[in-house]
Amino acid sequence: MKTFTTDFLVIGSGLAGLSFALKAAEKGSVIILAKSDFHSSSSTNSAMAQGGIAAVTSDQDSFESHINDTLVAGAGLCREDVVREFVTQAPDRIKDLVAWGVQFDGQMVGDEFQVNLTKEGGHSFRRILHHEDQTGFEIQSKLSRLVRNNPNIQILENYFAIDLIINKQLRPYDMSPIQCYGAYALNKNVQQQAQVEGIVAKNTILATGGAGKVYLYTSNWSGATGDGIAMAYRAGARVANMEFMQFHPTCLYHPQARNFLISEALRGEGGELINIKGEAFMKNHHPLGSLAPRDIVARSIDAEIKRTGADCVYLDMASKHSKDYLQSRFPVIYNQCLKYGIDMSVQPIPVVPAAHYLCGGVVTNSAGQTDIPGLFAVGETACTGLHGANRLASNSLLECLTTSHNAIEHIINNPISFDEQLIKDVPDWLEPKQLHHDELIVITHMWEEVRRLMWNYVGIVRSNKRLERAQHRLQNILNEVKEYYSQFKMNSDVIELRNIAIVADLSIRCAMKRKESRGIHFNIDYPSKSNDPNVKKDSFLIRGL
């Protein structure tokens, strides 16, 4: 078995992983595992982010306002110390991006560049920095170029992480605490048949993004299958708050549009949600109307669709702005809609909610540190306490930058011991040799079954009965997945199926633990928040318990 060694192993190539790698490369060697082609514009959720990044950069705004907006959106489950830390360092993280070459929209005012700020749901002020309507792509492309040209960073493209390397696997009778020493990965570049290789690292950073593909309808890229969360859980790390999958209120509704997001920035610029009759309905659900927090908007749209029997609702921009404005401010969205025969300058955009962002994940502190030494989780993979029960719009890219910055600072200031002998003790990956190609269609069917089950039973509106049915049906799938994983030669489809099944199970178990409705999680059997501190606390899960 081929084995690599490095100081830092970064699993994932989105904003969290790339920003960490750039800073870690100043301290040692870095290997990045990219699940697909590194240059692909749709191979991370970061690259697909449209709206922008939240930070206090205006004299009219304040840290306290941003902190309060985040806490309100989080519905009582945010860790205020983490929120305060991330919000107050946000301007410095923006400076990092600018230093890396990222360009935000703005104009020169005298001798000074003045950035254009927009407003999104739940924010009290305009504080969203953006690059047209493709902020994520701008950031991803600039950081990718820097990473490519950094001699201390090695990129392994089309490498699929399988499992973490834990000292207990290397020395089963070792009584020392669990420690992470890297990961096994499937190299999909091999011409005839993919092979498993080992990457041994002093520090392993999970930056694998979210898990939107666990649901039938999602805004996420095709590889968002919760890989890092599933790997960490199998290794013994804690996960929490998996019931809090945020459903973005507005994804394009069209038979040929798989996962195209209609940014919240459109509503920030005056877009109004209307029903099939052309009626603006959001004021009936919340004083902020179409700019209410995402969980409220998503549930309101779901209720309106069910009330009217329509397939979707609509976002009206035509009555608010000129064609020239829409083309210049939202060029990607305008052209993508036009591709599907929708001219947003003269007609409303059909939209529906879709799984978008996971507020739970691997439990970490503000530096991304898990309870397994040598293992860190950053970005959407982590549950830092920033988002609580519902993420405030455009705080996600901010979290990617802050956790990655804090992680490298923590690692440098708190080095852990590393048994160099263990590098030589990493065993070859053992697996059955057969690969039954005729069984791959069954794997595809099981994948679809999990995603449809999650959408129908663990979606925007839940109930005790739906969750019980989901858990019962998923148990059969988990047993089948275990059989496939143990009996057939390693295949990326099998690995992803294994991960989404585990993430789905964790989500259902967390949802069943929450005997209330809070933030994103809404259960018709418990329609209100609970004041019982034992009910509203985070829903921790530990492997084996």
Does residue 237 sit in the same domain as residue 255?
no
Asked if 496 contacts 447 with a C-beta cutoff of 8 angstroms, the reply is: yes
**Residue 41: its pLDDT value, please?**
53
Does residue 234 sit in the same domain as residue 120?
yes
Domain count, the chain: 3
Task: Name the average pLDDT for the chain.
Answer: 91
Amino acid (1-letter code) at residue 206: L
**Residue 368: its pLDDT value, please?**
98
Q: Tens digit of pLDDT for each residue in 316-351?
A: 999 989 999 999 999 999 999 999 999 999 999 999
> Is 237 within a domain?
yes
208-219 average pLDDT score: 93
Any residues with CB less than 8 A from the CB of 120 and at least 6 apart, and which? 51, 52, 54, 128, 264, 265, 267, 268, 291, 393, 394
Residue 268 pLDDT class (50, 70, 90 cuts): confident
Does residue 177 sit in the same domain as residue 288?
no
> Is 394 within a domain?
yes
For the cut 60, the answer to whether the pLDDT of residue 356 exceeds it is: yes
**Residue 326: its pLDDT value, please?**
95
For the cut 90, the answer to whether the pLDDT of residue 421 exceeds it is: no
Does residue 410 sit in the same domain as residue 467?
no
Residue 16 pLDDT class (50, 70, 90 cuts): very high
- Total-model pTM: 0.91
For the cut 70, the answer to whether the pLDDT of residue 193 exceeds it is: no
Does residue 398 sit in the same domain as residue 471?
no
Does residue 138 sit in the same domain as residue 221?
yes
Does residue 257 sit in the same domain as residue 138?
no
Does residue 388 sit in the same domain as residue 509?
no
More confident residue, 482 or 201: 201
> Is 119 within a domain?
yes
Q: What is the CATH number of the domain that holds 47?
A: 3.50.50.60
Residue 545 pLDDT class (50, 70, 90 cuts): very low
> Is 288 within a domain?
yes
Residue at token pair 């999909």: 188
> Is 151 within a domain?
yes
Q: What percent of the chain has pLDDT over 70?
A: 95
Q: Of 532, 533, 545, 536, whose CA–CA distance to 514 is shortest?
A: 536
Does residue 158 sit in the same domain as residue 14?
yes
**Residue 426: its pLDDT value, please?**
81
Task: Give the structural domain span for 536.
Answer: 437-541
Residue 192 pLDDT class (50, 70, 90 cuts): low
Rounded Cα distance, 432 and 30, in Å: 32
106-133 average pLDDT score: 87
**Residue 97: its pLDDT value, please?**
97
Does residue 115 sit in the same domain as residue 175?
yes
**Residue 544: its pLDDT value, please?**
47
For the cut 90, the answer to whether the pLDDT of residue 461 exceeds it is: yes
Helix count (H) and strand count (E) of the chain?
Answer: 17, 20
**Residue 56: its pLDDT value, please?**
96
**Residue 11: its pLDDT value, please?**
98
Q: What is the CATH number of the domain that holds 442?
A: 1.20.58.100
More confident residue, 434 or 188: 188
Q: What percent of the chain has pLDDT over 90?
A: 70
Q: Tens digit of pLDDT for each residue in 102-115?
A: 999 988 677 778 89
Per-residue exposure over 73-101, b if at least 16 CB sit within 10 Å of its own CB, e if not? bbbebbbeebbbbbbebbeebbebbeebe
Q: Tens digit of pLDDT for each residue in 377-389?
A: 999 999 999 999 9
Domain closes at, from 323, 352, 381? 352
**Residue 434: its pLDDT value, please?**
64
128-150 average pLDDT score: 92
For the cut 60, the answer to whether the pLDDT of residue 40 exceeds it is: no
Does residue 191 sit in the same domain as residue 310?
no
Which pairs count as long-range contacts for 284-289, CB under 8 Å and 24+ apart, including other chains? 288/121, 288/122
169-188 average pLDDT score: 83
Residue 265 pLDDT class (50, 70, 90 cuts): confident
Domain closes at, from 391, 425, 459? 425
In this structure, are strands 272-274 and 53-54 parallel, antiparallel, or unpaired? Answer: unpaired
393-420 average pLDDT score: 93
Domain closes at, from 396, 425, 454? 425
The DSSP secondary structure of 182-243, one letter per residue, reads: EEEEEETT-SSS-EEEEEEEEEEEE-----GGGSSSBSS-TT-S-HHHHHHHHHT--EE-TT
Q: What residues act catalytically?
A: 294
> Is 430 within a domain?
no
Structure tokens that stand for 42 in this block: 């749709």
Does residue 275 sit in the same domain as residue 225?
no
For the cut 50, the answer to whether the pLDDT of residue 528 exceeds it is: yes
Q: What is the CATH number of the domain that holds 311?
A: 3.90.700.10
**Residue 246: its pLDDT value, please?**
93
> Is 170 within a domain?
yes
